[in-house]
Amino acid sequence: MNYVLSIDQGTTGTTVLLIDSHLNIQAKATSEYPQHYPKPGWVEHDLNDIWKSTVDTLRIVLEKSGVHGSDISAIGITNQRETTCLWNKKTGDPLFRAIVWQCHRTADICSKLKKSGKEKIFRKKTGLLLDPYFSGTKVKWLFDSHPDLHKKALNGEIAFGTIDSFLVSKLTHHSIHVTDPSNASRTLLMNLETLCWDEELLEILNIPHQILPQIKSSSEIYGKTKNVPGLPDGIPVCGIAGDQQAALFGQACFNVGDAKCTYGTGSFLLLNTGTKIIRSKSNLLTTVAWKLKNKTTYALEGSAFIAGAAVQWLRDGLHLIKDSSDIEALAKTVTSSEGVVFVPALTGLGAPHWNAQARGLICGLTRGITAGHLARATLEGIAFQNYDLLSAMQKDLRKKLSGLRVDGGACINNLLMQFQADLLQIPVIRPKFIETTALGAACLAGLAIGFWEDLDSIQKAWQKDQEFYPEMTLQQQKEHLLKWKGALRKCLT
């Protein structure tokens, strides 16, 4: 048995990779699925669509590779994190559409909890802020909206989980209900110090503990496949990590102070803080990176809700480009953004501002502005958000980082990577293998069964593609940041 299968269940689609022991990709496939927007600010996914996309993609990968299911040693899962699912524990059937991490329907719940003085206790116990982003208030909204759920929950009929829990349940024919600390730490329900569900927080949100999955480590055998279309029974499902923590792991950021930024639908920056829980004073999140055996590694995180989604908006909303990959060529038709600044707050602002009501802003327009200027300003807006995040992160860490590892689809954009290095004034390092989220899940699964011996063997296999060094002068950087900060103030007022 020579391969590890990695399921990367993302916000807009599911990617499956087949990886060998040398971290080579034997096959890859992606299947997109529909997004649902029933009301302004609401975002939902149909869990049946997610499962179908997973099964379809598994089948395609095996067909492309010619590998038989019996040659798969282990399955790892990484997932969009705070997205909230409820399903029938016995049948595995979804009870409702999943409420996606981007959804803002629980803004009023968060506001009421803040006004009642509850944010301090959530912040202390979970390392998170009271924001619609996280799972806990989404679960509360479902129970508040459907009072009949409480009785079923108390009877043990209902399972709650993030997408990882749902997929493990489906892969094991509804026999296993688990999660890992990296996902549990995003729910507003887990105590960072004990790695257990917190009874006081459950009581505040009126969430029955009967619906919760068991919190396991990020790398161990949870169960084995059963009745999965296209796969034989008995393959160990043995690695779980939320997508951003999986990317940190896949980037081999195993040491304290190592940091990575993933450019996906949103932009997510994580900094390894080791076994120490650092309480942010800069409105960042404290989260679990992973747990291996009895050792828990923590991280600081900053998230910008919109990154690649801003490029998708130029494509689908304004029709300035045909494909997302066209944006770099369009941006290169001009040598600068000519003072145009785009604050991509299309679904509010995440860390360090945390303003769910903020909306996108484009300023500095003149008659001479072209589509190229807008394209360049969009890429710069993504980089500006990450500058704010890393600045806050360095302030909490009390030292400047030596470099930033990058991954995700948009990191292939050299113009964006160079501007990011210029703003940060540190090297930006891109790996040869940019599917680091899926790689992280595969490595966690492989470690559980001895497919890889230890972290050193993974570290040695990691390879650099290109390093971007700062070219902008400090004065030029300062001028860019002044324009950004001015536009940001307008966005927040």
Q: What percentage of the chain exceeds 90 in pLDDT?
A: 78
Cα–Cα distance for residue pair 39/463, rounded to 1 Å? 44
pLDDT recorded at residue 435 = 83
pTM equals 0.88
For the chain, give the mean pLDDT: 93
Residue 22 pLDDT class (50, 70, 90 cuts): confident
Residue 45 pLDDT class (50, 70, 90 cuts): very high
pLDDT recorded at residue 1 = 59
As a whole number, mean pLDDT of residues 2-30 equals: 91
Cα–Cα distance for residue pair 209/200, rounded to 1 Å? 11
* pLDDT tens digit sequence for 393-404: 888 888 888 899
* pLDDT tens digit sequence for 84-133: 999 999 999 999 999 999 898 999 999 999 999 999 999 999 999 898 98
pLDDT recorded at residue 329 = 96
**Cα 217 versus chain centre, distance:** 19
Least confident residue range of 253-257, 380-384, 412-416: 253-257
Q: Give the domains, in start order, of the chain with CATH numbers.
A: 3-244 (3.30.420.40)
Among 4-8, 30-34, 131-135, the range of highest mean pLDDT: 4-8
